[in-house]
Structure 1
Amino acid sequence: MIKIKPLIALVSFLIALTLIIPAVMVLPFSGEKAAGRLGEELKKTKAAGENAAPTADAAVEVAVFRSAKSVIENVGLEDYLVGVVAAEMPAEFNQEALKAQALTARTYIVSRMLNKNTMGVPKSALEQGAQVTDTQNHQVYLSDDEQRKKWGADYDWKKKKIIEAVRATSGQILTYDGKPIDAMFFSTSNGFTENSEEYWSGNIPYLRSVSSPWDKNSPKFNSQKVISVKNFEAALGVKVGSSGAIGKIVARTEGKRVAKVDFGGKVLTGKEIREKLDLRSSDFSWERKGGNIVITTRGFGHGVGMSQYGANGMAEEGKNYQDIVMHYYKGIEITSAESMLATITAKK
């Protein structure tokens, strides 16, 4: 007959032994740092632009006058900037160029909202609270639906790319002497940008002529336009007659564009000629061919500020968005706009 107490003691000893042995086996490693753990990462597929983290732009709304439908659309600042970059710059461009464009777009609208500048907004839209239009009078803007129509099957990757560019510059603007700059931009230069006073009144210190050799690769660098002699004379209010010379360039700008043309005593500026003849650039030349005048232009746009194709060329050479804006806007700083955004929100 087996005694109960010795049996209990034996069972207790075996149980204790099973607990002690694994602990002893672990002890030699207890002082070591873990070099690896069994982890688990479940990837979630995100829709284009989905991001749980709020950005510095999140609290601000922009009242956009949608010109085609004559309605006001209240758009979050980030969505507004995405819509502007989508409209103003090809999504195929280098990411650093897109970031530079996002910076100019944010700088423009923050300055406008801070100063309560409503110039260019139709009176009827102002009465409804509009702050900006969706046209070239301000910044062209495309809604999400319009982006889908524009991009079609490429919507997802283009939308994602532009959102990333906007968020990479979140809360940043361009300033000069602590104030948001007038961040002018255009498509393609003639190899140089233009001083502000050559196209508009006023010498703006950060809008100086700089070289932009990358633009020569732009498909918009060269163009031609044919206009009849009769329409040429009517548009410019001049008579060219049958002489071989049609006007004479008497001055050029620092940016190598036409400053003044003398038509037998009547002098027109390059800007006036560009606008009256609807030319791509004020860097032009022309020649008569029969009853027509063939006009050749270099570049596309007013030439002041940042060249978009130049920005893309810089990015393709490895420059970042900070390099790009510092090249095209002289003496400026990239500044946090959070206090300005807070001021805009507080004014509402």
Structure 2
Amino acid sequence: MQRQIFLFIVGMSLVIILIPSLLVLGFKQGGQVEEAAARQETIRLDPEAGEPLVTVYLSQEKRVIQVPLEQYVRGVVAAEMPIDFELEALKAQAIASRTYIVQRLILGDFSDVPAGAMVSDTVQHQAYLDENTLRARWGLAYEKNMAKLTKAVAETRGKVITYKGKPIYATFFSTSNGYTENAHEYWHGNALPYLKSVPSPWDARSPKFQATVKLPLEKFLAKLSLKPEVTATTDGRPWIEVVSKTTGHRVKEVRIGDKLFSGREIREALGLNSSDFTVRVNGDELEFTTNGYGHGVGMSQYGADGMAKEGKKAEEIIRYYYQGVELQDYRQWIKQTAKNDSQN
């Protein structure tokens, strides 16, 4: 969750390419469909699995592979969430990850990946691990872990998160600071009604909940393209201070000298775990203490695991972190006469 996030959020037509003649079916509330403008890319069905094929760019190997959608989701969950998390948390992750790729396929814009691919295996989109990598990583625990992973994906098969009948942008992240963030307060785009700040107290148990980073002043200034003069003050005020905070208790604005920066700008420039941070100046060194890990928008993974430990089901977790949503089966929108890859 790190990405080019809001280029598509408002006003985009949602379409799926279904047949050789490029007939597309658009999502409409109530299950209705409509013809829409054609696009060049086609989504093909796997002849055996009967589900869309996803082409994934493996960044380390610099090649493209093609896998059925549910197999892709399994690889994403394995990469994005610890396998020792509760089953219901893994199921919630499977639903969120499936929603992300289904919406991406519908939008059909793959311009940010190499030709022939729909998505990469990095956090620019969603991290993904293939079975060979998982065998090497899990060793003797492979069979047990794969059985748990497969169960999480199988028990949510086809389910995606929708808002007013359309798949949402299902953002997720590792660990909150105790609250999730309003989407528009982090990305400064249009507010999304389903990505609102909610309390997430379970995250305090995460090993990533708090961290401290020390930076030499010279390095700090260089990363923000600032001159040493910003540290000189004549009015008694500190030369660096937090000016305001967001609804999710993260830094909204920081003043450095006479310049204002957003909390996100500071986080990304310095590589901080979170935009919830405090800063202390010790001579020629700055010490940042962060709470949380990730952008903070959408589902907290450690929060999901905490809810699951309290007996909450995957659907309850989803409805908590994504406000006002429903769960629907994306397969209802797939026309079975779609051209599959074996006919090429």
TM class, shorter-chain normalised?
A: 0.7 to 0.9
> 2 CA distance for matches of 1:100 and 1:341?
23
Cα–Cα, structure 1 residues 190 and 343, in superposed 2: closer, same or farther, change >3 Å? farther
Cα–Cα, structure 1 residues 271 and 343, in superposed 2: closer, same or farther, change >3 Å? farther
Secondary structure of the corresponding residue to residue 231 of structure 2: coil
Q: Which residue of 2 aligns with 1:317?
A: 310
Residue pair 2:176, 2:296 contacting (<8 A) in 1 also: yes
Residue pair 2:239, 2:255 contacting (<8 A) in 1 also: no
Cα–Cα, structure 1 residues 88 and 187, in superposed 2: closer, same or farther, change >3 Å? same
1:1-348 aligned within 5 A:
58-121=50-113, 125-126=114-115, 129-200=116-187, 201-238=189-226, 239-241=230-232, 245-342=238-335, 345-346=338-339
> 2 CA distance for matches of 1:344 and 1:190?
48
Q: Which residue of 2 aligns with 1:37?
A: none
Structure 2: give runs of 5+ residues left out of the alignment.
Answer: 1-45
Residue pair 1:283, 1:297 contacting (<8 A) in 2 also: yes
Q: Give the C-alpha shift of residue 240 in structure 1.
A: 2.2
Residue pair 2:245, 2:253 contacting (<8 A) in 1 also: yes
Q: Give the C-alpha shift of residue 286 in structure 1.
A: 1.2
Residue pair 2:95, 2:160 contacting (<8 A) in 1 also: yes
Cα–Cα, structure 1 residues 343 and 107, in superposed 2: closer, same or farther, change >3 Å? farther
Q: Give the C-alpha shift of residue 314 in structure 1.
A: 0.3
> 1 CA distance for matches of 2:298 and 2:309?
19
One-letter amino acid of the counterpart of residue 265, structure 2: E
> 2 CA distance for matches of 1:324 and 1:99?
10
> 2 CA distance for matches of 1:237 and 1:343?
55
Cα–Cα, structure 1 residues 76 and 300, in superposed 2: closer, same or farther, change >3 Å? same
Secondary structure of the corresponding residue to residue 56 of structure 2: strand
Q: Give the C-alpha shift of residue 189 in structure 1.
A: 0.3
> 2 CA distance for matches of 1:153 and 1:344?
42
Secondary structure of the corresponding residue to residue 154 of structure 1: helix
> 2 CA distance for matches of 1:313 and 1:345?
41
Larger Rg: 1
> 1 CA distance for matches of 2:135 and 2:59?
19
Secondary structure of the corresponding residue to residue 62 of structure 1: strand
One-letter amino acid of the counterpart of residue 186, structure 2: Y
One-letter amino acid of the counterpart of residue 105, structure 2: M
Please report the TM-score for the alignment, with normalisation by the length of structure 2. 0.80
Q: Give the C-alpha shift of residue 117 in structure 1.
A: 2.3
Please report the TM-score for the alignment, with normalisation by the length of structure 1. 0.79
Cα–Cα, structure 1 residues 83 and 58, in superposed 2: closer, same or farther, change >3 Å? farther
> 1 CA distance for matches of 2:300 and 2:69?
24
Residue pair 2:194, 2:324 contacting (<8 A) in 1 also: yes
Residue pair 1:221, 1:299 contacting (<8 A) in 2 also: yes
> 2 CA distance for matches of 1:152 and 1:245?
53
One-letter amino acid of the counterpart of residue 144, structure 1: E
Q: Give the C-alpha shift of residue 222 in structure 1.
A: 0.3
Residue pair 2:162, 2:325 contacting (<8 A) in 1 also: yes
Q: Give the C-alpha shift of residue 86 in structure 1.
A: 0.3
Q: Give the C-alpha shift of residue 347 in structure 1.
A: 8.4
Residue pair 2:239, 2:257 contacting (<8 A) in 1 also: no
Q: Give the C-alpha shift of residue 78 in structure 1.
A: 1.8
Cα–Cα, structure 1 residues 285 and 343, in superposed 2: closer, same or farther, change >3 Å? farther
> 2 CA distance for matches of 1:220 and 1:287?
20
Secondary structure of the corresponding residue to residue 199 of structure 1: helix
Secondary structure of the corresponding residue to residue 216 of structure 1: helix
Secondary structure of the corresponding residue to residue 314 of structure 1: helix
